[in-house]
Amino acid sequence: MKRPASNLIFSLVVVGVLCLGAFQGRRVADLRESDAFYRWILTAAKLAPLGELEDLTPEPNAPDMKDDELFEAVVAVTENLLPEPAATDEDRDGEGGLYPKLVRHVYNDDQAADVLIWKLASGDSLEAARKEFLDYRGKGQLFSLGTQFDPAAMYASKEGSPVSLSNLFLGFRIMAANLVWLKVDQFYHQGMLHRMLPLMDVCVRLDPHFVDAYKVGAWYLAYNITAHMLGTPEPLKWWDEKHSAWVGEKEEYYYRGVDFLLDGIRKNPRDSSLYFDLGYMIYFIKLRDYANAARYLGNALQYEHEIFVRRMYNHALMRSGQYEKSLAGWQDYLEKFPEAKTADVARRYIEINQGLIFERDAEEAKARALTLDGEEGKAAEEEAERLYQEATRVWEKLRDEEQEPYAIARFNRAKALKYWEQKRYHEAVAILDMARYDSNDFWDEASNMIIAIKQEADMPLTLSEKLAVKRQEEAEAARKLRQQKSQE
């Protein structure tokens, strides 16, 4: 009789302890879910101002994405619970509207606010949103969801089964990603670039945190693969709805690189190097889209970054015409790194931006003078002249003291403009023709000015200039035709 009784007691004790384990397991699972939700909030807050929170080109039969809807629900709750963040230049969107507090906190990389966001994400106030998040995640309805939250979801069946390829590796899928990467490296050394691409895709699917796979993959797409491709003539380019750009074969690969890096950013929203590669390597160098370059380089600065990221950001600002910001950026750089080898570069670019501001203001004053009569017109004219002189003084100083090629080019540009104004066309063209060889950065602007002067003066164009004009005309005609067709 003794044994069955003790067996019963033991059974009850074991069941009791297992129930305790189940209870604790539920707690652990809750914490893991809150962790995933918190990470999604940070990602979504980061992507929302970049316009990357919605899938513009959904796949056929893809489920209805809920990113925007869920983020709005989260913002509605957090707007009342989060404190007012410190004001920055990046607080407003393109139309002047103030971003929600959550977005501003995340953009400022405010770590004190992160603690608060974590408390909200794991607390009662966002419980409804958290449940929705888990529901949408299971159904694959979150476009912005990085696979770092649940790698199983990526390989799941349509029903969102958690049993997946990742489980086949028993949690060692990251190791598998590394082995695939060794194969990628081998293909690279064998020059088999096209074989590398699908493997790199596999790498990032197996390990969404494999940042280097994203960076190197985008590099191959934007650089190595396109190295021997011919540029597509403007009339043959097609409109890419997703990226709002006219693209040829080369550009298509550039944008594939952009998409690959954006995927990496969605999964690693706080990795500075991904923003840098997207902003500088592709938008700045390849696409020459300086506004977007500045946008992503600005994001790269929010996190731990190399010193050159700051310099490239300032360059992108200058190229996109945001001279004041660029000037402030270089001043800040000089203040923070006065002993850096590149401190001289900063000093030079402070002057250059100052010169460009004078130039821009002079041109605005000149345009104003043309619309005004009498004293006001004369005052604007004098203002323009004074500003031109200020700009010329800057260029002269940089030319004499630093032999700065860009300053020499700008100085000559100012001279050419004067000649153009005085209708001394040949001298203007001669100066610009010489000046464009001083600085690569001035080449396109000088070439366009030369064509404009020659057209105004009815001077014969060179063969390459005729070709450039023809290409431009064809491109414009083709675009108009396509727009008409699309409207029809």
Residue count (the chain): 488
- Quote the least distance from Cβ 260 to other proteins, whole Å: 15
Q: Is 307 in the site for other proteins (CB under 8 A)?
A: no
Q: Which is nearer to other proteins, 17 or 367 (CB)?
A: 17
The DSSP 8-state label assigned to residue 51 in this structure reads: T
Geometric angle at alpha carbon 288, from 327 and 462, rounded to 5°: 110
Residue 325, both tokens: 């910001």
CB within 8 A of 412, min separation 6: which ones? 431, 432, 434, 435, 438
Candidates 114, 201, 427, 465; binder of other proteins (CB under 8 A) is 114
Q: Is 221 in the site for other proteins (CB under 8 A)?
A: no
Q: Which is nearer to other proteins, 88 or 186 (CB)?
A: 186
Residue with tokens 């952009």: 258
Q: Which is nearer to other proteins, 23 or 80 (CB)?
A: 23
Written as one string, the DSSP assignment of 117-145 is HHHHHHSSTTHHHHHHHHHHHHHT--TT-
Backbone angles phi, psi at 460, to 5 degrees: -70, 140
**Helix residue spans in 48-110 (DSSP H):** 67-81, 101-107
Site pattern 143..182 for other proteins (x: CB under 8 A): ---------x------x-xxx---x--xxx-xx-xx--xx
Site pattern 261..290 for other proteins (x: CB under 8 A): ---------x--------------------
Q: Which helix (H) or strand (E) holds 372?
A: none
In our burial notation (b when 16+ CB lie closer than 10 A, e otherwise), range 73-83 reads bbbebbeeebe
Q: Which is nearer to other proteins, 306 or 456 (CB)?
A: 306
- Quote the least distance from Cβ 224 to other proteins, whole Å: 7
Candidates 80, 111, 403, 486; binder of other proteins (CB under 8 A) is 111
Residue 239 β-bridge partners: 246
Candidates 32, 393, 423, 470; binder of other proteins (CB under 8 A) is 32
Size of the site for other proteins (CB under 8 A): 61
Site for other proteins in 222-261 (CB under 8 A): 223-224, 227
Q: Which is nearer to other proteins, 31 or 236 (CB)?
A: 31
Q: Which helix (H) or strand (E) holds 246?
A: strand 245-247
- Quote the least distance from Cβ 242 to other proteins, whole Å: 27
Rounded Cα distance, 210 and 147, in Å: 12
Q: Is 472 in the site for other proteins (CB under 8 A)?
A: no
Rounded Cα distance, 302 and 383, in Å: 39
**Chain CA centroid to CA 463, Å:** 38
State the residues that interact with other proteins by CB under 8 A: 3, 7, 10, 13-14, 17-22, 24-29, 31-32, 34-35, 38-39, 42, 109, 111, 114-115, 118, 121-122, 152, 159, 161-163, 167, 170-172, 174-175, 177-178, 181-182, 185, 188, 207, 209-212, 215-216, 219, 223-224, 227, 270, 304
